Structure 1
């Protein structure tokens, strides 16, 4: 899973625990409603409870865990209202990132973009859903770098985590993954042309796919939702 914890500094035990649990929640290896224990997680990592507690707090701040004093900590169920609010924030941020990328005089990192898209195509062909989601994170991170706005990626990633749980439910067919990959390829082509209006229009369309995904996920896994 794409590493989110303290990417640019020295990685700590808390980062390692956070990244593992974040990945397991996002990929539904830890399903909504699952009970979590500091003691059990500490035992799995062979560490003390303190780093686990700190990782739990970070995940709680992202609304991925529900910490209940004197009761079991739970993997939060999916909130439709929070998903839609998160999409609103992410769209606003990513549109501004795209504006900066299109206005930038710095050449795009062609090697990284081309490599990412080639690997996306291969992961779709192999139906490697976990790898595809990692590459999806990395692609949007590259856009932030192109706009000299890496600081914005934390906001995008934080909001994206909730959407990713929906995607793990619904975007598991080759055709669905390929739609996302084709969006990415077209976004990249428009960025290379510095077509601000076209890129923004496509980013909005790309993120609007959430509506159909959300409705289908609610129909198939209503027990995963809290509202």
Structure 2
């Protein structure tokens, strides 16, 4: 397996610098990003020996990383065989959406209530970089900055670690979000919605912030519908499930 498949370009693992510096954490961040971005595609077989050679680590940190990915339901480990990248499972996507809505709508209300003007420059920098990435149609950078904006919301609310809780519960949802940029040319829409959310929290208007963020997050399920329509081979859907009833119609 080529190193560039795992790591992509030099900025392909946007969360890497924020993860603890252990080998297992580094391997987890690189593999997770490769799965989210579809450089490692559903059904792809991950061989332990090959991954160890590619990533320059022993089996112990690799196995620790694979265990974390399995807990996020991004991979399936088949004993005495290999690890396989999972399809995008609709039930798990919607589950992640529910977790994210529940936590982040609370965060944005608190962010508006307790807005710290000292964070305004951080928001403005992210929004500036988002605009530049949108103008370039840079999918990797846009997705990274999307995460940076939402992480800032949690920080502004006074609960920065809530973002990690959200992230750990939304691996499958992140794959849908990442695909929304190239499939829907989503860059400017995301930027405009982020700008409106920032203006609401800077204006200390919790009701407006919650309303705008709720509409923004609902876009994830619309993106799931687009993915189902355009690339159904990537997605696993049980039409009888409760999750299937929450997906917007075509």
Q: 1:173 to 1:224 in 2, by over 3 A?
A: closer
What is the distance in 2 between the residues matched to 1:174 and 1:126? 15
Residue 73 of structure 1, aligned match among 72, 75, 83: 83
Alpha-carbon RMSD across the aligned residues, in angstroms, is 1.7
Does the CA-based 8 Å contact 2:113-2:205 persist in structure 1? no
Q: 2:116 aligns with which of 87, 92, 106?
A: 106
1:222 maps onto 2:232 in alignment: yes
CA shift for structure 1 position 177: 1.4
The whole-number CA distance in structure 1 between the counterparts of 2:56 and 2:98 is 40
Query: Where in structure 2 are the equivalents of 1:134-145 lying within 5 Å?
Result: 134-145=144-155
Check whether the contact 2:16–2:30 (CA below 8 A) recurs between aligned residues.
Answer: no
Higher relative contact order (CA 8 A, sep 6+): 1
Structure 1: segments with no counterpart, 5+ residues: none
What stretches of structure 2 of length at least 5 have no aligned partner?
Answer: 1-12, 238-250
The alignment status of 1:2 with 2:14, answered yes or no, reads yes
Q: Distance in 1 between matches of 2:71 and 2:181?
A: 26
The yes-or-no answer on 1:52 pairing with 2:81 is no
TM-score by length of 2: 0.85
Q: Give TM-score scaled by structure 1 length.
A: 0.93
Structure-2 separation of matches of 1:166 and 1:98: 22
CA contact under 8 A between 2:154 and 2:162: conserved in structure 1?
yes
Aligned length: 225
- The Cα of 1:36 is off from its aligned counterpart by 0.7
In 2, the alpha carbon distance for the partners of 1:167 and 1:86 equals 12
Deviations 1:97-154 (A, max 9, x none): 1122122263351111111000000001011110111101111111110011112101
Q: How far did 1:33 drift?
A: 1.1
Alignment partner, residue 208 of structure 2: 198
